[in-house]
Structure 1
Amino acid sequence: MPALATKFKDNMIAVHTGSKRDKNTILINGDWIGAKQTMTIINSFDNSVISEVSCANNDHVEQAIQSAKQAFKLNQYQPSHERAAILKGAAQKVLARLEEFAQTIALETGKPIVAARKEVSRCANTLNLSAEEATRLTGETVKFDSFSGGENRLGYYEHVPLGVIVAITPFNDPLNLAAHKIGPALAAGNAVILKPSQQAPLSAIKLVEVLIESGLANGQVNVLTGYARDFAQCLVSSKDVAMVTYTGGEASGEIIAKNAGIKKLAMELGANSPVIVMDDCNLDKAVEACVSGSYWAVGQNCIGVQRIYIERGIYQQFKAKFIEQTAQLTVGDQLIDSNDVGPMINEAEAKRIESWVNSAVDKGANLLVGGKRTGACYYPTALDNVANTENLICQEAFGPVVSLFPFSDLDDTVALANNVEFSIHGAVFTSNINTAMKVSRELDVAGVMVNDSSDYRLDAMPFGGAKRGSMGREGVKFAVKEMTHTKVFCMNLDA
């Protein structure tokens, strides 16, 4: 391990498990506490221990719920300018500690440091957007006299908070996705119980620390670290929880939905993103965007490029350029700025991708570039001639691998692009506005990027799944609305 990484790793252990809090990573009513059981957080590049965190249990769940209920009761009428000030203050602190946050993200996820820095900047933007929406959450007047019997009545509706919200976040964007749940929830006046990823909880813990430093009241955010299997059922099934917001895999999402009971759910369950490349596009820009979209953040990206359909007339050119640029990507220690691709979250995930690629090749696919694994590092990989029944095509790969297909008929290609159960984004590269509009209309996705790869996202835009994965929307303005309900005030002037 390079000297910089070793030095920072030692510092980080001091921050997270040393004299400051030791292994006290469970937050209840403003107090960081520990538990009998702990778990280690590993740097998947060299298997070194980064930190140790406590594992919550059902008793901690009950304490966190009671704390959140009390905090909501005390703070639900907090002025919106005060909520905004806390969120803005946290955003400023995150930016002031950008490198510290970025190093934490990189170490616990394997995300290359350059990508980690971008995530920190996006987190600050998400918090600032949440601060703005806190003061914009307004209702409207209602024309009660628009129907007979409503004469002499005046009124309006407003958006009011739901209460206690459980937020369950994944490892791939451990800081910004936590901000996308906590920020809007606090902006709307809710209390939050955060369950961060068990593989990568440290960034989310640091975010909560910053919110507390910025004036967050005790209990407005509680944190439960550890294994979801030990306490998630108790957490999501509680009748005192008004909403569960979850980002992660389908299997866990289905378990949450079955256990949650009658309450609001918002879920983003992954995708298998298609990109269509027309022969009238800017070829060089399309290749560059698709390479970036395929391998950014080690391909562990729910809107990352997974399938690329290239019009036959430019297929060979596109393929040659794509292979050339992919082969130039450097793989290794995620803390080194010059490395483009770091390790996956763990070696087991790298082995899964390896097995999927090997299966496709054994059944006739052509390995164009990559196909190599060293520990948790899987080299950027591209294939063609992959059967549509292979996992690489019909499942979410969530790794640095992409499949290329030539096509001649656009309608047939759109049908193939839509032939998955879960989708979020799709993309098309073309200089023809009619083609852009046709593909945008016909792709069965929640967002279409034209002349951008599918992995483009602005934190202010609505974001979520289509088809089976369509359960609510993130994007700060839209998440705030998801985390409230409307309340009507009507006055009869004849009384």
Structure 2
Amino acid sequence: MISLPMIIGGKKIDKSEKIDVIYPYTLEKIGEVPKGSPEDVLQAIEKAKIGLDKLKELSSYEKYKILMNIADLLEKRKEDFAKTIVYEVGKTIREARTEVDRCINTVIFSAEEAKRIEGEYVYIDGSPNGKGKRGFYFREPAGIVSAITPFNFPLNLTAHKIAPSIAAGCPFILKPSERTPLSPTMLCEVFLEAGVPEEAVSIIPGYADVGQAMTTHPDVRVVSFTGSLQVGEIIAKQSGLKKIVMELGSNSAVVVDKDADLKKAAKKSVIGGFALAGQVCISVQRILVHEDVADEFHKLMEEEVSKLKFGDPMDEQTDVGPVIATDEVNRIQTWINEAVEKGAKIAAGGEPAEDKKTLFKPTVVVDVPEETKLFLEEAFAPVVTVKRFKTIDEAVRLVNKSNYGLQVGVFTNNIKNAWKFIEKAEVGGVIINDIPTFRADNMPYGGVKGSGLGREGPKFAIEDYTEIKIVVFDINE
């Protein structure tokens, strides 16, 4: 069993009250961490004030070197981190190794950006009252960052918040998901080992009371949250005058035009729909197929789904592991049943595995009515829906018929149709001839509408973690 401490201002703290970590595949306890409290947050904030001053003393090059040290240490412990992710999340070992690799890249990108947090010369004399004035601006740390992360990518999504934070010169207080606190704690230990000032690093596992203390305190200047829309709305209402960055999920669509490469679209859609058992913010959930090629596409989809192996996530051959908890299995079944009752048809899967724990069969549901949870909400499950469309305008309408707007994938060889989605899709990213699940860790990643505020990616996170300071000289005689 893995037992890890919380960290407050670089100091390891243990407590008698614990949060148990459960392996989703067997439902066995595999770890524990101390249960944090609002009082712990207050201590972390006081330490972070000292950490802010210490980070300000570091040069850009020194922060770069520290972050590169973190990447080197992660490289040496890749398999240890990967196995921990499997046990706390339930993702397959191959998926876990990929996450560790991505985390290393995220840290390296952050290191590189630490050396180019730049300002700009401002032509003050372009203003009627600016004659004889010269100006420039630069960026300086915004202050203490409160970071709250979800269960599905506990390592890389944590890195996306705390590595740019250090690059920007901001101390952080991290609350990981109570389901998956192990790999984030291990990552914070690596940050300390690599040379990040102790007071700049805190991780406090806990529940809503910890999150509320982190997001409402006036000394916190930035809140970076990844999670549900419902919680995001609460944070936005209660945080006060702060910078808020949020990634709040999606209901991502794939559009398959009549001239698309159907084999590629089907294969990619299955990868995007069932990776991490569909528990990815940009999972393929809705597939919209032109009616002229829908029958052929259905057959190709069913063939690809039939190849998937689901089961033990530690098995190197497993493609689809468990969902995070048994209550999710019950919810998924309820959503599928609702769609079927309203006219949808199950083309594959549609039920849990025989042991009825946390394994749900990879599922394809066709002809799903628009007014169902499967079509409108975020399923976060190994379930994809397939629906026909007649015209590109109809496909655009269907893509936008959601409160979410993170990314869309469009398979087409028609540049006019592609451009129509680029201009009219209400999303943060349009991925042409690939799935919406595509993400490079240095790109601006985020959404519109209910999918959030701001953008992740080290360069863009640093913009949110810094403030502009303008300097103006009067050189008039």
Question: Pairwise mapping of residues 166-245 of structure 1 onto structure 2 (< 5 A)?
Answer: 166-227=146-207, 229-245=208-224
Answering whether residue 74 of structure 2 is matched by residue 97 of structure 1, we say no
Q: 1:287 corresponds to which residue?
A: 266
**How much has 1:152 moved relative to structure 2?**
2.5
Residue 390 (structure 2) aligned to one of 408, 423, 427: 408
CA distance in 2, matches of 1:115, 1:75: 34
- Partner letter of residue 436 of structure 1? A
Cα offset for 1:239?
Answer: 0.5
| Aligned residue runs from structure 1 range 384-403, under 5 A | 384-403=366-385
Shift of 1:310: 0.6
Give the Å deviation of 1:489. Answer: 1.4
Partner Cα distance (1:322, 1:455) in 2: 17
1:126 aligns with 2:106: yes
Structure 1 residue matching 2:177: 3-state secondary structure: coil
- Aligned residue for 1:219, secondary structure, equals helix
Q: Distance in 1 between matches of 2:110 and 2:321?
A: 31
After the TM superposition, which residues 36-185 of structure 1 pair with which residues of structure 2 at under 5 Å, given as runs?
A: 36-185=16-165
Quote the RMSD (CA, aligned, Å). Answer: 1.2
Match of 1:422 in 2: 404
Q: Is residue 327–residue 370 contact of structure 1 (8 Å, CA) maintained in 2?
A: no
Q: Letter of the 1:446 partner, please give it.
A: G
Deviations 1:56-102 (A, max 9, x none): 11110110110111110232231011111111111121122111111
Unaligned ranges ≥5, structure 1: 1-12, 18-22
- State the match for 1:318 in structure 2: 297
1:405 positional shift: 0.7
TM-score (norm: length of structure 2): 0.97
Alignment: residue pair count? 474
How far 1:35 sits from its partner (Å)?
Answer: 2.3
Residue in structure 1 matched with residue 441 of structure 2 by the alignment: 459
C-alpha displacement of 1:433? 1.7
Alignment map for 1:228-377 (pairs within 5 Å): 229-373=208-352, 374-377=356-359
Residues of 1 paired with 2:127 and 2:337: CA distance? 67
Q: Matches of 2:320 and 2:448 in 1, distance apart?
A: 29
2:54/2:197 contact within 8 Å kept = no
Partners of 1:364 and 1:491 in 2: CA distance: 70
Q: Alpha-carbon deviation of 1:494?
A: 3.6
- Select 1:468's aligned residue among 445, 450, 459: 450
Answer yes or no: is the 8 Å Cα contact 2:21–2:180 preserved in 1: yes
Say whether 1:480 aligns with 2:462.
yes
8 Å Cα contact 1:53-1:226 kept in structure 2: no
Q: Cα offset for 1:441?
A: 1.6
> Which stretch shifts more, 28-37 or 203-212?
28-37
